Amino acid sequence: MTVAGGGGHASETMLAQGVIDELQRRVGAANVLTAEEDLIPYSYDGTAALRQMPGCVVFPSKTQDVSEVLRFANASKIPVVTRGSGTGLSGGSLPSPDCIVLCMVKMRAILELDRANLTMLVEPGATTLQIADAAAGAGLFYPPDPGSMKISTIGGNVAENSGGLRGLKYGITRNYVMGLEVVLPDGEILWTGNKCVKDVAGYSLKDLFIGSEGTLGVITRVLLKLIPKPAAKKTMVATFAQMDRAAAAVSAVIAAHIIPCTLEFLDRTTIHCVEDYAKIGLPLDCEALLLMETDGHPAAVADEAARMEEICRQHGCVDVRVARDEAEGDKLANARRSAFSALARVAPTTILEDATVPRSELAAMIRFVEATAKKHRLRVGTFGHMGDGNLHPTFLTDERNTEEMERVEKALKEIFEEAIRLGGTITGEHGVGLAKKKFLPGFLGGASMRVTRELRRALDPNGILNPGKMFD
């Protein structure tokens, strides 16, 4: 469960002074935080109802610092929780009691932009936006764009295998990682991958670390693939009086062999909250809103935009608004990006989920979410990446109301079970972390779960990295 808002702190934790002295000796005293008031900001992530004070926070400046800290922690069997910007929505960077939080934000350099090979080598603390801007500055494009891209780090994106609004056409973080430097739990430094477009030598170790949620190693460098910047883009918003019609329009767009770069959905509750928050003139008299973007060669963009508009009209949309220019398009896209923040304003606690189903089951899943919320007398707003089948049912609640929270738990369990029944998954992009770990064994099944556990044991026999996350 992903919860934003409220929550009290678990009891304070302490590391022995000898441990602190040793860490300060290895990375410099200025790079180790120990005072309670300094540790509080690191005691939670985007999953705000979960709180745990760390033992200390360490800021490495280089790979060797990470190696030094892990070698010491492994020998002393002290848990280490790696952290980027702490925007995670499954409790992945929530500290363990008495742990060292390894906060990567000081390692944020863009080390190389290789125009001949279209690659970029970066440190893990670089933000997604920093990378996208650096690529754009060279006339190139780094497509993954999680809603949190202004602050999330590339290390966190790789560790969560994050997706974004452009996932439908361009894929997710995994599709842009060509190589990784990883420090293993015993401090050894490993490099996997290279600038070759093709490389099939040995197991694809980099793919093992992508999405490993800080449980197998600490990512200290990322080699990213860049692509040419699309020459043109068009953005449009279509509104529908019935959600089923919007879902049918999405299916028809895909069936017409159009793959928009963005195909996003907002339900009535979310539209109202976003409009109230961002005041961009969204139509309020509709059940569903589709945000669609197409990019590429100007002629192809014009053709696809016209066909998408036509498809929406054929499916009975109330209105289609095509952005006049890029600035208006960005404004409409930002409306979608602000959906979580907009919903988070209306209730003390916002529980954001990411149940995901095959595209063909979207309408059924959205109806199920609505019916489940009604059955349990809960307020829900749903938005998400319609083109990817990735929905964000967002419960608007109050964690101080324990009776209501029990109903939320029941509703979420039913939603995940239904997602799995429809051939979907328990998380499309936010990861398992603490929030979904109880659902993982049932979802993966016996053999996959056994191999998962054995991989973790092989890489981290002392279990120091992010213990208790993903599975026990």
- The least distance separating ligand FAD from the CB of residue 453, rounded to whole angstroms, comes to 18
95 belongs to the binding site for ligand FAD (CB under 6 A): no
- Of the candidates 346, 339, 347, the one whose C-alpha atom is nearest the C-alpha of residue 397 is 347
82 belongs to the binding site for ligand FAD (CB under 6 A): yes
Strands (E), 136-261: 140-141, 177-183, 189-193, 218-225, 227-228, 232-240
Kindly indicate which of the ranges 50-58, 140-148, 304-312, 319-327 contains the residues binding ligand FAD, using the contact rule CB under 6 A: 140-148
164 belongs to the binding site for ligand FAD (CB under 6 A): yes
Which helix or strand (DSSP H or E) is residue 33 part of? Answer: strand 32-33
54 belongs to the binding site for ligand FAD (CB under 6 A): no
Kindly indicate which of the ranges 84-92, 253-261, 277-285, 361-369 contains the residues binding ligand FAD, using the contact rule CB under 6 A: 84-92
DSSP 355-397: -B--GGGHHHHHHHHHHHHHHTT-EEEEEEEGGGTEEEEEEEE
210: left (phi over 0), alpha (psi -120 to 50) or beta: beta
Task: Identify the residue among 74, 152, 192, 394 touching ligand FAD (CB under 6 A).
Answer: 152
Which residue lies nearer to ligand FAD by CB, 165 or 248? 165
Which helix or strand (DSSP H or E) is residue 22 part of? Answer: helix 17-27
What 3-state DSSP class applies to 103? Answer: strand
42 belongs to the binding site for ligand FAD (CB under 6 A): no
Which residue lies nearer to ligand FAD by CB, 55 or 88? 88
214 belongs to the binding site for ligand FAD (CB under 6 A): yes
Task: Identify the residue among 54, 86, 187, 424 touching ligand FAD (CB under 6 A).
Answer: 86
- Of the candidates 394, 391, 381, 380, the one whose C-alpha atom is nearest the C-alpha of residue 358 is 391
CB proximity list for 442: less than 8 A, separation 6 or greater: 420
Sign (positive or negative) of CA dihedral 163, 167, 171, 176? negative
Which residue lies nearer to ligand FAD by CB, 209 or 376? 209
Kindly indicate which of the ranges 82-90, 271-279, 316-324, 436-444 contains the residues binding ligand FAD, using the contact rule CB under 6 A: 82-90
- The least distance separating ligand FAD from the CB of residue 111, rounded to whole angstroms, comes to 15
Sign (positive or negative) of CA dihedral 316, 319, 324, 326? negative
- The least distance separating ligand FAD from the CB of residue 366, rounded to whole angstroms, comes to 18
* CB-CB contact of 466 with 213 (8 Å): yes
From residue 275 to residue 314, the character string flagging contacts with ligand FAD as x (rule: CB under 6 A) and all else as - is ----------------------------------------
83 belongs to the binding site for ligand FAD (CB under 6 A): yes
CB proximity list for 344: less than 8 A, separation 6 or greater: 4, 5, 350
From residue 433 to residue 462, the character string flagging contacts with ligand FAD as x (rule: CB under 6 A) and all else as - is ------------------------------
Task: Identify the residue among 240, 340, 395, 416 touching ligand FAD (CB under 6 A).
Answer: 340
- The least distance separating ligand FAD from the CB of residue 190, rounded to whole angstroms, comes to 12
Which residue lies nearer to ligand FAD by CB, 26 or 83? 83
* CB-CB contact of 52 with 434 (8 Å): no
The strand pair at 56-58 and 100-103 is best described as: parallel
Which residue lies nearer to ligand FAD by CB, 119 or 356? 356
Task: Report the alpha-carbon distance of residue 235 to residue 336 in Å, rounded.
Answer: 12
218 belongs to the binding site for ligand FAD (CB under 6 A): yes
Provide the token pair at 282.
């969204």
From residue 402 to residue 431, the character string flagging contacts with ligand FAD as x (rule: CB under 6 A) and all else as - is ---------------------------xx-
- Of the candidates 313, 309, 311, 291, the one whose C-alpha atom is nearest the C-alpha of residue 301 is 309
Which residue lies nearer to ligand FAD by CB, 301 or 439? 439
Contacting residues toward ligand FAD, per CB under 6 A:
45-46, 81-89, 92-93, 104, 124, 146-148, 152-153, 155-157, 159-160, 162-164, 213-214, 218-219, 340, 429-430, 466
